[in-house]
Amino acid sequence: MAQFSPDPCGPPYGDEKDWHANNVELQLFSRAADAVMQALNASPATSDSPEQRATVALKTLEQMSAKINAAWPSENRFHFSILDLPPALVVKMSIRVHEGFFVFGMPEEVSGKPSHSWQIAGSNGESSNFTVPPSEFNLYALHRGPSGNARFLAKAIYSGCAGSIGVSYDAYEWSPKGMGEFGSIIEQEGSFGLDDKVPEFEQIGKLQTEGPLITLPYCWFSAIDTWDNPSLCAVDTYDLAADVVRFRSRAYNRPDLVPVALAIEYAEKRDYPAVLGYCASEDLARALVREIAPGMGAEDLRVTRISNVKERVELGDPPVYEFVVEKRPDRWVVVSFTTE
């Protein structure tokens, strides 16, 4: 790894090779995981806890990186942290600007026979959300259900050298029963802008991972955006009290604009049933499917209050799309649409 820049976005940078180190980094993480597994299964067994044995193995690699990558800033060298979730261990690793994790556990059996050895149970590389290594990674222990299986949340940030950033939440569960079972129990992707306090479009909610109810905040880009920040944001609440995780609710920062953005999104795809879900009538939904042009962008957004329950939403610099939205008992819906 010493041949690469410690950070492709920082000085010194510019070499093409600095942007193509992902495979090397993933190989390094895989080798580090092998070292942890060897330490966990080393014989004769010591009185040290699994976390202590893993720490010793990873400290050796951390010290090697301190020497080999001495020219790099300390934060870009190999580092690790361990989330101890008996009977599982989750190890987070980082080098340069990339991070990842591996889960270690001792399943009840292997090939039909009782098992007494640690195995690599899973990693973030198995998730569809992690097609490229994340640039920032945080792990959080989660409430266990009645079965007592280990659960944790991985929050990953994906970012380039400038502009808005992507966010991904993945919650996982590991059970030692049988040959062991590791899988995702929550998946949520979104984005964040560079400013979380944009007037009239401030983000909503905070990340909460303690207790049986957790909240995951995020934003997303839509047709009503007029700048690099995504205008619409939400916070999802999940209930972890039972063995089966359940979605509880979703709240928006601008619920009045959600039907406009989603009706446009589905109208561009000519998905009439989906558009109808955000409209007050079938004729209105058909008009949207018929009139909305592909790739529509707001360019300019003007919201005018008509009454306590109605607003006029105008998009674009002629031709202009004009929507009227109305607050119903349970949500906002589009009740009128015209175009110039």
What is the per-residue pLDDT across 273-296, written as a single tens digit (0 to 9) for each?
Answer: 999 999 999 999 999 999 998 888
Residue 127 pLDDT grade (very low, low, confident, very high; cuts 50, 70, 90): very low
Question: How many whole angstroms separate alpha carbon 186 and alpha carbon 169?
Answer: 7
Q: Report the pLDDT value the prediction gives residue 85, as an integer from 0 to 100.
A: 96
| β-bridge pairing 98-105 and 310-315 | unpaired
Torsion of CA 120, 31, 79, 93, to 10 degrees: -40
Encode pLDDT of 21-66 as tens digits. 667 888 899 999 999 999 999 876 667 899 999 999 999 999 999 9
Q: Report the pLDDT value the prediction gives residue 128, as an integer from 0 to 100.
A: 41
Q: Report the pLDDT value the prediction gives residue 5, as an integer from 0 to 100.
A: 84
Torsion of CA 136, 141, 144, 148, to 10 degrees: 110
For residues 7 and 97, is the Cβ–Cβ distance under 8 A? yes
Query: Identity (one letter) of the amino acid at 316?
Result: G
Work out the angle between the directed axes of helices 258-268 and 282-291 (0-180°, nearest 10): 60
Q: Report the pLDDT value the prediction gives residue 11, as an integer from 0 to 100.
A: 64
> Other C-beta atoms within 10 Å of 215: how many?
17
Percentages helix, strand, coil for the chain, rounded to the nearest 5?
Answer: 20, 35, 45
Q: Report the pLDDT value the prediction gives residue 26, as an integer from 0 to 100.
A: 84
The predicted model scores a pTM of: 0.89
| Mean pLDDT score, 107-120 | 86
Structure tokens at 117: 């050895």
Residue 194 pLDDT grade (very low, low, confident, very high; cuts 50, 70, 90): confident
Residues β-bridged to residue 234: 218, 252
Answer yes or no: is pLDDT of 163 > 80. no
Question: How many whole angstroms separate alpha carbon 186 and alpha carbon 330?
Answer: 26
**DSSP for 105-123?**
E--SEETTEE--S-EEEEE
Nearest to 127 by CA among 104, 145, 100, 90: 100
Indicate the DSSP class of residue 153: E
Residue 331 pLDDT grade (very low, low, confident, very high; cuts 50, 70, 90): very high
Question: How many whole angstroms separate alpha carbon 236 and alpha carbon 137?
Answer: 20
How large a percentage of the chain has pLDDT more than 70?
91
HSE (side-chain half, CA atoms, 13 Å) at 279: 22
* CA 105-62-9 angle, 5° bins: 105
Answer yes or no: is pLDDT of 8 > 80. no
| Mean pLDDT score, 67-89 | 95
Residues with Cβ within 8 Å of residue 196, at least 6 apart in sequence:
202, 203
Question: How many whole angstroms separate alpha carbon 272 and alpha carbon 288?
Answer: 9
Question: Which of 98-102, 191-195, 312-316, 321-325 has the weakest average pLDDT?
Answer: 191-195
For residues 61 and 35, is the Cβ–Cβ distance under 8 A? yes
Nearest to 172 by CA among 134, 209, 226: 209
| Mean pLDDT score, 214-231 | 92
Residue 133 pLDDT grade (very low, low, confident, very high; cuts 50, 70, 90): low
Q: Report the pLDDT value the prediction gives residue 197, as an integer from 0 to 100.
A: 83
Encode pLDDT of 249-276 as tens digits. 999 999 999 999 999 999 999 999 999 9
Encode pLDDT of 299-317 as tens digits. 889 999 999 999 999 998 7
Question: Which of 32-36, 94-98, 124-128, 314-318 has the weakest average pLDDT?
Answer: 124-128
Structure tokens at 273: 């049933």
| Mean pLDDT score, 13-28 | 68
Q: Which of 89-103, 181-195, 232-246 has the highest mean pLDDT?
A: 232-246
Answer yes or no: is pLDDT of 126 > 60. no
Query: Identity (one letter) of the amino acid at 179?
Result: M
- The residue to which tokens 């079965």 are assigned: 147
Q: What is the mean pLDDT of the chain?
A: 89
